[in-house]
Amino acid sequence: MRRLRTVGLEEARAVVVVTPRRGLPELMHRALADTGALLHGHFGLHGGKHTEYFIRFRALSRSPQLLGLVADHLVSRIEPDVGTVIVPESAGFFLGDALAQRLGANIAVARTDLQRRPARSLYNGSIRAGDRVLVVNDVVTTGASLEPPLDLAADHDATVTGVLVFGALDGPGFRAILNRRGVPGDHLLEAGPAWTLHPPDLCPACGRGDLPLLPAAELN
């Protein structure tokens, strides 16, 4: 039974919406296709929804040049006065490390649970009272997984200056969380009209029964 396949350039253009900055959409679509980071199959996301596409950021981050380009585009969207970058103990660490290098900031690594979701405790590093903190992750759905790191910063009396992620699949949901928490944030890409997220009971792949479900935690 076919489990997954990598997505080519034309399909990537149809599935992923990239922030409309000069040259960036074509660059990101080619990067997703060339690195095999964009997959088609049957995936269970951390928030419980199912989808037929998945971005494996670890595959993209193996290219220092691509990772650097992503970090350069993201770092240009925030205030540079950052003392600590909070990253998850997952593939999002690579992006956080690249951003911290550009900002001259320290890194604090948040623990992750068995589903690779950030927890409200530190695995490594520290956050000081009064610190100006940037929260970073690779790909989120609505951004609910960003809540524990945001709470972690508050626990240490730090100020969150922003949130940066490579991809926010549910762009409106991501922006709603940022607005509710009162923090600025940005991302490079989100799911396009051809990429849908389904509750398990409405998942077409589950209904067909032709593709086994792959938990996102097994791909990160």
DSSP state of 217: G
Tokens standing for residue 188: 């490079």
Q: What is the pLDDT of residue 103?
A: 95
The pLDDT assigned to 1 comes to 44
CB-count exposure of residue 180 (10 Å: 0-12, 13-18, 19+): exposed
pLDDT number for residue 2: 55
Identify whether the C-beta of residue 205 lies closer than 8 Å to the C-beta of residue 50. yes
Q: What residue ranges define each of the domains in the chain, with the CATH number in brackets?
A: 5-218 (3.40.50.2020)
Question: In the chain, where does DSSP find H-type helix?
Answer: 9-15, 24-35, 57-61, 64-75, 92-103, 147-155, 171-181, 204-208
User: Three-class SS of residue 148?
Assistant: helix
pLDDT at 22: 67
The whole-number pLDDT of residue 168 equals 93
Q: Are 143 and 136 in contact (CB under 8 A)?
A: no
Q: pTM above 0.85?
A: yes
Predicted confidence pLDDT, tens digits, the chain (220 residues): 457 899 999 999 999 999 877 678 889 999 999 999 999 999 998 888 999 999 999 999 999 999 999 999 999 888 889 999 999 888 889 999 999 999 999 999 988 776 666 677 788 888 999 999 999 999 998 888 888 899 999 999 999 999 999 999 998 989 999 999 999 999 999 999 899 999 999 999 899 888 889 888 777 6
* Whole-angstrom distance, CA of residue 188 vs CA of residue 115: 24
